[in-house]
Structure 1
Amino acid sequence: MSGRDEYYNKAKQQGYRSRSAYKLQQIDDTADLIAPSDTVIDLGAAPGGWLQVAAERADGGRVVGVDRQRIESIDGVETVRGDLTEESTQAEIAERVGKADLVLSDMAPNMTGEYELDHARSIHLARQALDVARTILTPGGDLVVKAFDGRDLDDLEADIEDEFEYVRTVRPDASRDESSELFLVGKGRMTAPVAVDDELTVEITDTGDEDDGIAKVDDYTLFVSDAEEGETVEVRIEGVKPRFGFAERID
Structure 2
Amino acid sequence: MSGKDDYYNRSKQQGYRSRASYKLKQLDEDADLLSPGDTVVDLGAAPGGWLQVAAEAVGEGGTVIGVDLQRIDDLEEHDVETIRGDMTEERTRHYLREAVGESGADVVVSDMAPNMTGEYSLDHARSVHLARQAFDVAEELLAPGGDFVVKVFQGEDLDAFRDEVAEAFEYVKTASPPASRDASSEVYLIGKGRMTATVAVGDRLEVTVEERGEEGDGIAYVDGYTLFVPGTDPGETVEIEVQDVKPRFGFAERVES
TM-score, normalised to structure 2, is 0.92
Equivalent AA in structure 1 for residue 67 of structure 2: V
Task: Answer whether contact 1:107 1:125 (CA < 8 A) is retained.
Answer: yes
Residue of structure 1 equivalent to 2:98: 95
Q: Is 2:22 the partner of 1:19?
A: no
Q: CA deviation at 1:229?
A: 4.2
SS at match of 2:201: coil
Q: List per-residue Cα deviations over 1:159-216 (Å, max 9, x = no partner).
A: 1111111111111000001111010000111112222333221123444465543223
What is the rounded CA distance, in whole Å, between the counterparts of 2:74 and 2:251 in structure 1?
47
What is the rounded CA distance, in whole Å, between the counterparts of 1:66 and 1:29 in structure 2?
24
Q: CA deviation at 1:72?
A: 0.6
Residue of structure 1 equivalent to 2:44: 44
Identity of aligned residues (%): 64
Q: CA deviation at 1:246?
A: 1.3
SS at match of 1:233: strand
Q: List per-residue Cα deviations over 1:8-27 (Å, max 9, x = no partner).
A: 00000000000000000000
Residue of structure 1 equivalent to 2:7: 7
What is the rounded CA distance, in whole Å, between the counterparts of 1:73 and 1:4 in structure 2?
28
What is the rounded CA distance, in whole Å, between the counterparts of 2:90 and 2:132 in structure 1?
14
What is the rounded CA distance, in whole Å, between the counterparts of 1:179 and 1:223 in structure 2?
46
What is the rounded CA distance, in whole Å, between the counterparts of 1:48 and 1:102 in structure 2?
16
Q: CA deviation at 1:125?
A: 0.6
Q: Is 2:88 the partner of 1:85?
A: yes
Residue of structure 1 equivalent to 2:236: 231
Equivalent AA in structure 1 for residue 137 of structure 2: V
Q: Which of 129, 138, 153 is the matching residue for 1:133?
A: 138
Q: Where in structure 1 are there 5+ consecutive unaligned residues?
A: none
Residue of structure 2 equivalent to 1:62: 63
Residue of structure 1 equivalent to 2:254: 249
Cα RMSD, aligned residues only: 1.6
Q: Is 2:76 the partner of 1:76?
A: no
SS at match of 2:209: strand
Q: List per-residue Cα deviations over 1:38-60 (Å, max 9, x = no partner).
A: 11000000000000000000112
SS at match of 2:72: coil
Task: Answer whether contact 2:65 2:99 (CA < 8 A) is retained.
Answer: no
Residue of structure 2 equivalent to 1:182: 187
Equivalent AA in structure 2 for residue 37 of structure 1: G
Equivalent AA in structure 1 for residue 51 of structure 2: L
Equivalent AA in structure 1 for residue 140 of structure 2: T
Q: Which of 145, 149, 158 is the matching residue for 2:154?
A: 149
| Greater displacement, 63-72 / 201-210 | 201-210
What is the rounded CA distance, in whole Å, between the counterparts of 2:122 and 2:224 in structure 1?
44
TM-score, normalised to structure 1, is 0.94
Q: CA deviation at 1:5?
A: 2.2
What is the rounded CA distance, in whole Å, between the counterparts of 1:128 and 1:4 in structure 2?
29
SS at match of 1:66: strand
